[in-house]
Amino acid sequence: MLIAGFKRLTVTFVTPATAALYSIRKLINVAGNVSDAWFAVDSMTFEEVSTIDNHSVANIVINFDDGDASVYTQAYSYMNSLGLKGTSWVIGGFVGQAGNITLAQAQEMYAGGWDMGNHTWGHSHLSSLSEADQETAILTNSLYLENNGMPRGARYLAYPFGEYNADSLIACANTGQRMARTTNDGYETSCFKIANRYILNGKPTPYGMTLETAKAEIDYIISNKVTGLVYFHKITDTPEILNWPIADFQALMDYVALKRMQGY
Ligand SMILES: [Zn+2]
């Protein structure tokens, strides 16, 4: 999706035969999905990224927990019109049920550049499960995403209810999760570091949070060059608790797109 007033430039790049590693730097600092923000942008080894303490650019990752139907009907359609990508944290066992996205919608969003991330198979209270059962809840959903043609975000986890314990970190490692997001309120200045990759902070958008407050979060992320994992749930005209109104959501996405156009 090309934003009005911008031109698309294309170059052919040939990897030198002797190159062992090269890095691709993005020029646009607002990324929508997890793999873009953390891996696709800078192609580096884990050992290298573990030494990075700070990002050189701001990253805004727009997250949607739970796979509510509005992620497709409201968020995807609107963000698409602005050229923004997002990450939908999918609960495999809920897909296709009333009020939730369908498998076809998930696959369409994936094809559109969104990541379909892992939110466990049944939205489990992980910290109440044994370590083995946590692995099952996590891995079942990774395999569901991968077996349905959506591998990109399948090994990134968002903890349901934000709940995790020491066993969760083991379960993440044992099931090959690359990173995991909590609901601990905060930004990431060092999310490339291996040490904290399973306890990444998020920025909530609870019902009642004003548009101006949310815009201030975006401004903070940009001016401090941090990674903000901003997460939503349902986008609706009748918001409550964890949900956000459609008009405010659209205005906030307009603001993100504006900031990107301004070169942040
Ligand atoms: Zn959830």
Question: How far away, in angstroms, is 138 Cα from ligand 1 center?
Answer: 13
Q: What pLDDT shows up at residue 182? A: 94
Q: Which CATH architecture has domain 32-261?
A: Alpha-Beta Barrel (3.20)
Q: What pLDDT shows up at residue 13? A: 66
**Over residues 141-156, mean pLDDT:** 95
Question: How far away, in angstroms, is 26 Cα from ligand 1 center?
Answer: 30
Question: How far away, in angstroms, is 65 Cα from ligand 1 center?
Answer: 5
Say how far apart CA 50 and CA 38 lie, in whole Å.
12
Question: How far away, in angstroms, is 14 Cα from ligand 1 center?
Answer: 43
Question: Dihedral, CA atoms, 137, 73, 34, 151, nearest 10 degrees?
Answer: 60
Question: How far away, in angstroms, is 161 Cα from ligand 1 center?
Answer: 5
Domain boundaries, the chain: 32-261
Question: How far away, in angstroms, is 233 Cα from ligand 1 center?
Answer: 8
Q: Which residues surround ligand 1, an ion (CB under 5 A)?
A: 65-66, 160
Q: What pLDDT shows up at residue 6? A: 64
Task: Please say if the pLDDT value at position 160 is more than 70.
Answer: yes
Question: How far away, in angstroms, is 249 Cα from ligand 1 center?
Answer: 19
How do the residues of the chain divide into helix, strand and coil, expressed in percent and rounded to 5?
Answer: 40, 15, 45
- Whether the model clears a pTM of 0.75, i.e. scores above it, the answer is yes
Q: Quote the Cα angle for 259-178-103, to 5°.
A: 75
CB-hemisphere CA count at 13 Å for 101? 29
CB-hemisphere CA count at 13 Å for 66? 17
Q: What pLDDT shows up at residue 25? A: 43
- Rounded to the nearest angstrom, the gap between the alpha carbon of residue 107 and the centroid of all alpha carbons in its chain is 16
CB-CB contact of 61 with 32 (8 Å): yes
Q: What pLDDT shows up at residue 211? A: 96
